[in-house]
Amino acid sequence: MSFDVLISQFLGGLSVAMLLFLVASGLTLIFGVAKVFNFAHGSFYMLGAYFSFQAINLFNNFWIGALAGAIGAGLIGMVLEICFIRRISGREEEGAFQILLTYAFILIIDDGVKFIWGPAYKTISKPESLAGALTVGPVTIPTYNLFIILLGLVIVVTAWYVLSRTRMGKIIQAASTDTQMVGMLGVNVSLVMSLLFGVATAMGGLAGAMAAPLRTIAPGTGVEIIIDSLIVVVIGGLGNFWGALFAAILIGEVNAFGILWLPQWASLLSFAVMIVVLIFKSKGLFTREQGRKKI
C-alpha cells in the first residue's frame, strides 16, 4: 500500500473524527462535568442544523447560520434545564429520571422539527470561501474538512483553557465534584449548572450547524449520532476533552482503515473498539481518579 493512500485515508479519518469530536465535546461537558445524562444531546445537534438552515435562508450567510445554530440550541437547552432538569435534581434516582426526561425531549423535538420544517430532507451549502479542495500531489482534502479539523483543535484548546486555567472553570470543576460545598462558598450553583447546560447544548448546536453542509438534515438525525458520541465520551473518560479528542480520532481512524482492510465489518468496529478498551481499561482511557487532582 502506497504512502499517499495511507495519508489520504488518515486525513479522511481525521475529518470524520473531528466532527465526531465536535458533537461529543458538548456531551462530555454535560455528562462528565455537569453530571446530567442528556440523552437528547443529538437532538440539540439536529436543532442546530435546522436553526442554521433557517438563518441561512433568511440572511444568506453561513456564519450567521452557525451562530444561530449554536445560540438557538443553547437557549433551548437552557430553558429546558431551568424548566425541567433542574427541578428533578437531588431526587432519588435522579439519573434514571434524567434518562426518561431527556428521552422525552428527543420525542418532542423530533416531532417539533417535523411540524415546523416538514419531513423532507434539508441541506445547506458550504460557505464560498471553504468550498474548494486542497490537493498536494495525489492527496486531496476539501478545504471545509480542513476547517473542521482546525475548529476541533480550537475547541479542545479553549475548553481545556477555560476549565483548568480560569476562575469560572475552577468553579465548574469544583461544582461538579462537590456541589454543596461550592454552594456554601457563596456560588450560585444552579446558575452555573444552567449556564453549563446552555454552553454544552450550544456546542451540540454548533456541531449540527457545522455538519449540515456535509450531511443531511432530517427529523431523526439527532438520535442516530448519540450512540457514537457516547462511545467517544466514555472511551475518552467522562469530562475529559483531550480524552474525547483522542477517542474520536481513535474511532475515526480505526473506521477509516477498517474500510480499507475489513470493509464487511467496518460498521461494527466502533463497538469492538469500545469493548476492547473497556475490558482492558475499565474506566476509559483517560479518566482522572477522583480527588487526586488538585482543583
**Residue 46 to residue 63: CA distance in whole angstroms:** 17
Least distance to another protein, CB of residue 167, Å:
29
Is residue 179 involved in binding another protein (CB under 8 A)? no
Residue 189 touching another protein (CB under 8 A): no
Nine-digit cell string for 86: 433542574
Q: Which stretch binds another protein (CB under 8 A): 139-147, 162-170, 186-194, 195-203?
A: 139-147
What single-letter DSSP state applies at residue 287?
A: P
Total of residues contacting another protein (CB under 8 A)? 82
> Can you point out the beta strands (E) in the chain?
133-136, 139-142
**247 within 8 A of 228, measured Cβ to Cβ:** no
Binding positions for another protein, 198-237, rule CB under 8 A:
211, 213-216, 218-221, 224-225, 227, 230-231, 234
CA dihedral 27, 41, 216, 248 (to 10 degrees): 20
Of 61, 121, 164, 293, the one binding another protein (CB under 8 A) is 121
Q: Which is nearer to another protein, 187 or 214 (CB)?
A: 214
- Residues found in the chain: 295
Q: Are strands 133-136 and 139-142 parallel, antiparallel or unpaired?
A: antiparallel
83 three-class SS: helix
Query: Per CB under 8 A, does 129 bind another protein?
Result: no
Nearer to another protein by Cβ, of 22 and 70: the residue is: 22
Closest of 95, 124, 133, 114 to residue 8, by C-alpha: 133
- Residue 271 found at the interface with another protein (CB under 8 A): yes
Distance CA 10, CA 12 (A): 5
**For residues 157 and 227, which CB has a smaller minimum distance to another protein in the complex?**
227
Q: Is 140 a binder of another protein (CB under 8 A)?
A: yes
Kindly tell me which of 169 and 220 has the beta carbon lying closer to another protein: 220
Q: Least CB distance from residue 63 to another protein, whole Å?
A: 19
Based on CB atoms, which residue is closest to another protein, 77 or 171?
77
Which of 153, 185, 268, 295 binds another protein (CB under 8 A)? It is: 268
36-75: contacts with another protein (CB under 8 A): none
Are the beta carbons of 66 and 51 closer than 8 angstroms? no
